[in-house]
Amino acid sequence: MPSAKSSNRRNIVGVNAETVTNVTSNDFPGHWPGEDHSWNVSKFRETLRIQFFRNDRFHAEFDIVHVDASIANAFRRIMMAEVHSFAIEQCYFLNNTSVIQDEVLAHRLGLVPIVGNHRTMRNMKWHRRGNDPKTGQPYQPTVYDTLILHLQATCERIPNAPKGETDPDKLYRNHTVYARDLEWRPANEAQKEMFGSEPVRAGNPDIVIAKLRPGQELIVTSHAVKGLGKDHAKFSPVATAMYRLLPQITIKETITGKAAERLQKCFSKGVIEIVDGEAKVVNPRNDMVSREVLRHEEFKGKVELGRVRDHFIFSVESAGQWDSDEIFLEAVGILQAKCERLKRHTQRMLQLEAEKADRETKPEAMEED
């Protein structure tokens, strides 16, 4: 059996001046002689560790320890591309005399996060694209899949503004159109009731949509639908969803005095502290693994850098439609749903194959009779 030390080194990715070592995971059956690495849920439950460091509405930070990169990466990818949210998909311009072109404005409107009663929005349906094969006509929006947002703004001069004034706030009314000016127009009473005390609105009211000058006008009706980030980034519920591996810094020889101070400067703030004149690693989490220390001749062979291969520091920033921690949970649920769906299809495939084989053998059996 391997010693505890070598077993610990297995999950350390070495970071050298020019190379990285020990990159790929090797926790597979047959890789290490005499060890059992087959999948075991109860063992996984024992070893898996999740710890939170921050859980705000718009930002969650947590560590997931003892999962493989392929799993962590699946969660990250789903958070970005496969968790649904609402965004404006169609814009109908009734008037636009501003300097910003229709198509550019439509794109800007699309990027505004649309929020409202979360439960209702989850339960709303997907708007179908393309034509209905029965009628040949495009699918019509319904109360259950489309939200109508209206934007109307006219810029006017404020009468009797002082001469020589240059501040647009004192000269013009409505000179800037914000996301908060998007007004939800429920298609009917039922839709209004569905949202109750949490009406549909822009997730961030202060987004500037357009700037106007006196005489310019903007009247746009837009349809918001449910979508996925893999279709268009505007549907992605996260601003960023990322992870990094926990850095590991090993000081192999005692470094003291002025050299310790120089060593401290090679790392991010708070990583190295000087205790009784000796450099000590206190918080490797803060480090960004700049590898600066490896450039200095005096620290050659004294300091080793690495990253823990199965320690993921996740950071999820929500765009507003979901709470940041909810996005992760939803992503895990979506991965489960993917597994279920593929399993169902595999079973169906096997069933069809069996039926086919049955059909092929049956006529022969009848002939024999």
Partner 1 sequence: MADSANARQDVDMVDSHQERKPQINCQKYEEILIKVLPGEGPGCASFEIKDEDHTLGNALRYMIMKNPMVELCGYSIPHPSENHLNMRIQIYPEYENECRPVDALMKGLDDLYDLCEVVQEKFTEARDKFGNKM
Binding site for partner 1 (CB under 8 A): 25, 27-30, 37-39, 41, 44-45, 48-52, 55-57, 62, 64, 67-68, 70-71, 73-75, 77-78, 81-82, 125-126, 128, 323, 325, 328-329, 332-333, 335-336, 338-343, 345-350, 352
Strand pairing partners for 272?
A: 281
Shortest reach from residue 88's CB to partner 1, in Å: 19
Q: What is the DSSP string of 263-285?
A: HHHTS-TTSEEEETTEEEE--GG
Shortest reach from residue 159's CB to partner 1, in Å: 45
Q: Could you give the C-alpha distances from 334 to 68, 75, 78, in angstroms and in order?
A: 18, 9, 7
Structure tokens at 134: 């029965």
Do residues 136 and 240 touch, judged by C-beta distance below 8 A?
A: no
Shortest reach from residue 29's CB to partner 1, in Å: 4
Nearer to partner 1, 275 or 329 (CB): 329
Nearer to partner 1, 100 or 332 (CB): 332
Structure tokens at 350: 């096997």
Nearer to partner 1, 75 or 172 (CB): 75
* 140 phi, psi to nearest 5 deg: -85, 140
Q: For residue 171, which of 183, 154, 159 has the smallest C-alpha distance?
A: 159
Nearer to partner 1, 48 or 94 (CB): 48
Nearer to partner 1, 26 or 286 (CB): 26
Nearer to partner 1, 100 or 335 (CB): 335
Shortest reach from residue 355's CB to partner 1, in Å: 13
Cα 106 from Cα 2, distance rounded (Å) = 62
Q: What is the DSSP string of 208-245?
A: EEEE--TT-EEEEEEEEEEE-TTT-GGG-SEEEEEEEE
| Encoded amino acid at 54, one letter | R
Rounded (to 5) percent helix, strand, coil in the chain:
35, 30, 35
Shortest reach from residue 90's CB to partner 1, in Å: 18
C-alpha R_g of the chain? 29
Q: For residue 68, which of 25, 36, 29, 32 has the smallest C-alpha distance?
A: 25
Q: Could you give the C-alpha distances from 286 to 14, 59, 224, 259, 322, in angstroms and in order?
A: 18, 18, 41, 21, 28
Shortest reach from residue 328's CB to partner 1, in Å: 7
Shortest reach from residue 124's CB to partner 1, in Å: 11
Q: Could you give the C-alpha distances from 171 to 152, 161, 167, 181, 206, in angstroms and in order?
A: 20, 6, 6, 20, 21
Shortest reach from residue 119's CB to partner 1, in Å: 17
* 195 phi, psi to nearest 5 deg: -95, -15
Shortest reach from residue 217's CB to partner 1, in Å: 37
User: Residue 27 CA to chain centroid, in angstroms?
Assistant: 28
Shortest reach from residue 191's CB to partner 1, in Å: 18
